[in-house]
Structure 1
Amino acid sequence: MAASNSNTVSFKLFIDPNSNRVLFAEAGKDFVDFLFSIMLLPVGTVIRIIGKQGTGCIGNIYDSIENLGNSYMLSENITDLLLKTQAFNCGVYKPGLWSSLSPSIYTKFYRCSNYKTKEDCSKYMANGFSRCPSCNKEMYRDFTFVNLQDKVGVGFVKESVTYMITDDLAVRPMSAKSIFTLLNHLNIKDAGDLEEKVITVGANEGVELLRASMQTKTVLTAVFLGGKKESSIKSEPIH
């Protein structure tokens, strides 16, 4: 299903009312692109999004970097590099549900501060704090990167396909065979008993999906059947 606007995504949930669990979702490119974009998020960015609780000892590493301060770092840029790492190249993926994050996470490029056209320094660029392999000086001069979109488009998956996302966020092309196989595996005898709900999610739900994906294998059930407000959910019978 298509997104209603650039910062929301709509898709369908298929629910077993007897067990009150989501069996699978039917979604289009927008939602699958969002799920796959999670792989672009650095650990430091993930912790900033979902908070330190439920991240184990990684949260202590995050705190340590914050508390040490720049006086112990090789450069004042190091702290931001570790905790606010640039995540997205907008020419590849438009952040969508992550749009509430600081624009500083979007990919920027830098060249050597000693940049000279005829020197080896001109061969290198970096997307964060680094030192020039040629002269060892800091690379901090802004470098304009032009990424022209070609016929492939932006995102990760093709738009003409409908996708099935199971409760544990496994993604596959949707077909009658894939539905039958899943329902048989889950011991669902009659597909006519299932309920269908149309969901529209925004940034808040995106954060909850990210959090749940690190804590449970029943992500869609936890987020959308775990006491969420029904005002954003429209129910439809399956015909």
Structure 2
Amino acid sequence: MANSKVSMKLLIDNSKVRRVLFAEASKDCVDFLFNILSLPVATIIRLLREEGMEGSLPNLYKSLEDLNDTYLLPNQNKDAFLKPVAPVSSSSVPLLALPAAQIQKKFYRCNTCTNNGFCNSYNYVSEDPRATCPSCSKVMNLRLSYVDPPAMEAASKEGGLVKGVVTYMVMDDLVIKPMSTISSITMLNKFNVKEVGSLEEKVVDLGMNEAIKLLKTSLETNIVLTTVFC
């Protein structure tokens, strides 16, 4: 990973109320933003609790967090719900590289089938060591060693989600689309910009802190870039 941050160039209108008209963004930045959609709900709650997330979801999260393990089934782990592992992006700049809980997978098979050759069936596996083998009716309590699958090769050497040969336009409300000279002029006309001198370019970096602010603000308003960066 070359960098831990990405950047985008904001076009700000200072003529009346200071506002972001749109931003010019590269592939890495767009991948960064789109990866927000892959975050599990529990991860979003965990990120925003310290920012003062409203509503009842934080209460639901804390209820499970405070629940004594005594009340959980033997094959269940609270971290699987509280700290779910988000899909891994192949982008060179991953969004929110959080220390996710490593959920250790456990599988069991019939001890009789393996050691004594009493049962000729090797097709049954369980996540619960109390399960009964359908073939010989013995307890399936022999722990197996889980092997992670090989990492999938990226379909493209670029990695990530979108193509890198395009410059993208990110609107204040996080609408994202390919950018062109014509689309830029169209946006200036749409916002009724009369004086080019009132426009300001500003390059901003997006890291962990900015990502959390963008996430929180996107749940509260449609003027996301203006609220976060202006």
Which structure 2 segments of 5+ residues have no match? 115-120, 135-139
Segment drifting more, 62-71 vs 167-176: 62-71
Which one of 109, 113, 127 corresponds to residue 108 of structure 2? 113
Q: CA deviation at 1:23?
A: 0.8
1:49-88 equivalences in 2 (<5 Å)? 49-51=47-49, 53-75=52-74, 77-88=76-87
1:135-154 equivalences in 2 (<5 Å)? 141-153=145-157, 154=159
Contact 1:47 1:55 in 2 (8 A): no
RMSD: 3.3
Tell me the TM-score normalised to structure 2 length: 0.77
In structure 2, the residue matched to 1:159 is 164
Segment drifting more, 57-66 vs 174-183: 174-183
1:30 aligns with 2:33: no
Q: CA deviation at 1:201?
A: 2.5
In structure 1, the residue matched to 2:190 is 185
Segment drifting more, 65-74 vs 164-173: 65-74
1:126-141 equivalences in 2 (<5 Å)? 141=145
Q: Deviations over 1:127-148 (max 9, x none)?
A: xxx679x979799853322124
Return closer, same or farther for 1:68/1:152 CA change in 2, 3 Å cut-off: same
Contact 1:70 1:76 in 2 (8 A): no
Q: Which amino acid aligns with 2:109?
A: N
1:223-234 equivalences in 2 (<5 Å)? 223-225=228-230
CA–CA separation in structure 2 for the residues paired with 1:59 and 1:84: 14
Which one of 199, 208, 212 corresponds to residue 207 of structure 1? 212
Q: CA deviation at 1:49?
A: 1.1
Q: Which amino acid aligns with 2:44?
A: V
Q: CA deviation at 1:184?
A: 2.6
CA–CA separation in structure 2 for the residues paired with 1:121 and 1:194: 67
Return closer, same or farther for 1:149/1:12 CA change in 2, 3 Å cut-off: same
Which one of 20, 23, 37 corresponds to residue 39 of structure 1? 37
In structure 2, the residue matched to 1:235 is none
CA–CA separation in structure 1 for the residues paired with 2:144 and 2:180: 50
Higher relative contact order (CA 8 A, sep 6+): 2
Q: CA deviation at 1:81?
A: 1.3
Contact 1:15 1:22 in 2 (8 A): yes
In structure 2, the residue matched to 1:171 is 176
* Equivalent pairs, count: 211
User: What SS does structure 2 have at the residue aligned with 1:51?
Assistant: helix
Q: Which has the larger radius of gyration?
A: 2
Q: Deviations over 1:121-170 (max 9, x none)?
A: 57x9xxxxx679x9797998533221242451321111111000001111
Q: Which amino acid aligns with 2:8?
A: F
Segment drifting more, 42-51 vs 146-155: 146-155
Segment drifting more, 47-56 vs 201-210: 47-56
